[in-house]
Amino acid sequence: MNRQWVLASRPKGKPTEEEFELEEGEVPEPGPDEVLVRTVYLSVDPYMRGRMRDAESYAEPWEAGDVMRAGVVGEVVESNHPEFEAGDVAFGNLYWAEYATAKGSQLTHVDPELAPISTALGVLGMPGRTAYFGTLDVAEPEPGDTMVVSGAAGAVGSVVGQLGKLSGARVVGIAGSEEKIEWLTDELGFDAGIDYRDESVPEGLDEACPDGVDVYYDNVGGEITDAVFDRLNVRGRVAICGQISLYNAQQRPTGPRKLGRLIETRARVEGLLVGDFEGRYDEANERLARWVNEGTIEYEETITEGFENAPSAFIGLFEGENVGKQLVEVGEYER
């Protein structure tokens, strides 16, 4: 038997378990050139909330009745594709499902010798590459800069801050618990942290960034971002990577108009999607793997066990329940 999670209805506001429906069916048979993959880990990511909306964005919205999609790392069970054989570990953009088939050309090999296979969904996967290109190609911290990262303890933000340190910047992380702030400053080498649930972000920024903010990497949007904009320095650079604080808004979010700050500071604000850098994924993969293996970049994973808990793991992202990459462990894997 195969189980899969279906989007039963579009969430209104914050997603609830009501919007997901567990369906059972047959394990699919791989067709020509196809591979059958047994899910070991599936990834839940904030961007998925956008796909649940009835609005076209950079990608087509998901429809009610569709099986939820996700990045998956799994084990090949059966292969009709020459590049894969049973026992291989593969990554693919597949489904919230225990088993799925895909063309071999849509899968990539994951090397279990290189790092734990779960990292192919996190620090060595899409979030790590997002941090890599967003930091080094868009935000561009330089030695001497003060860099602020929001959502700093997340899968992307935690790597962004470490890349900021590697680039010579002073790095200040904004996150939502004392535990997260301690991880950022004590383990990852961030210079300071602001716990937005426990202290005023404007005051925290005044204290942590007495000379203003040169670079801001934004994963959250909303009032935290307003506070950073007010402290941008001349020629500041802002990378807009995510706006998680707004994704569940039921009405069009409003806030203070800040474009005038860009005249005062001549700052540059730029949005990014990792897919635009597809031609350079090998570069990012290679460097991130080296840094992780050297211990230059550390990472954390929050692993929710059990396929049945995928919706709650996803919903938890909007409560900031994860430290580092949020994964769902669906099946076992033994090398």
- List residues binding a copy of itself (CB under 8 A): 57-58, 218, 221-222, 225, 240-243, 246, 252-257, 259-273, 276
Please count the other Cβ atoms lying within 10 Å of the Cβ belonging to residue 189.
Answer: 15
Please say which residue, 103 or 268, places its beta carbon nearer to a copy of itself: 268
Please count the other Cβ atoms lying within 10 Å of the Cβ belonging to residue 260.
Answer: 10
Please say which residue, 162 or 225, places its beta carbon nearer to a copy of itself: 225
Q: CB of residue 297 vs a copy of itself: minimum separation in angstroms? A: 24
Q: CB of residue 247 vs a copy of itself: minimum separation in angstroms? A: 9
Residue 31 identity: G
Please say which residue, 107 or 136, places its beta carbon nearer to a copy of itself: 136
CA angle 121, 127, 133 (to 5 degrees): 135
Please say which residue, 209 or 297, places its beta carbon nearer to a copy of itself: 209
List, in order, residues 6 or more apart from 105 with CB less than 8 Å away. Answer: 33, 81
- 7: three-class secondary structure by DSSP: strand
Q: CB of residue 134 vs a copy of itself: minimum separation in angstroms? A: 11
Please say which residue, 47 or 333, places its beta carbon nearer to a copy of itself: 47
Q: CB of residue 67 vs a copy of itself: minimum separation in angstroms? A: 24
Q: CB of residue 252 vs a copy of itself: minimum separation in angstroms? A: 5
Q: CB of residue 263 vs a copy of itself: minimum separation in angstroms? A: 4
Pairing of strands 146-150, 107-109: unpaired
Please say which residue, 42 or 267, places its beta carbon nearer to a copy of itself: 267
What's the burial of 295, exposed, middle or buried (CB within 10 Å: 0-12/13-18/19+)?
Answer: exposed
Please say which residue, 87 or 253, places its beta carbon nearer to a copy of itself: 253
Please say which residue, 4 or 225, places its beta carbon nearer to a copy of itself: 225
Are 66 and 264 spatial neighbours (Cβ–Cβ below 8 Å)? no
Calpha distance 279→170 (Å, rounded): 30
Residue that has been written with the tokens 């590459």 in this structure: 129
Calpha distance 246→18 (Å, rounded): 21
CA angle 40, 307, 78 (to 5 degrees): 40
Calpha distance 4→100 (Å, rounded): 9
Backbone angles phi, psi at 304, to 5 degrees: -90, 125
Q: CB of residue 218 vs a copy of itself: minimum separation in angstroms? A: 7
Are 313 and 15 spatial neighbours (Cβ–Cβ below 8 Å)? no
Q: CB of residue 209 vs a copy of itself: minimum separation in angstroms? A: 18
Calpha distance 42→160 (Å, rounded): 22
Query: How big is the chain, counted in residues?
Result: 335
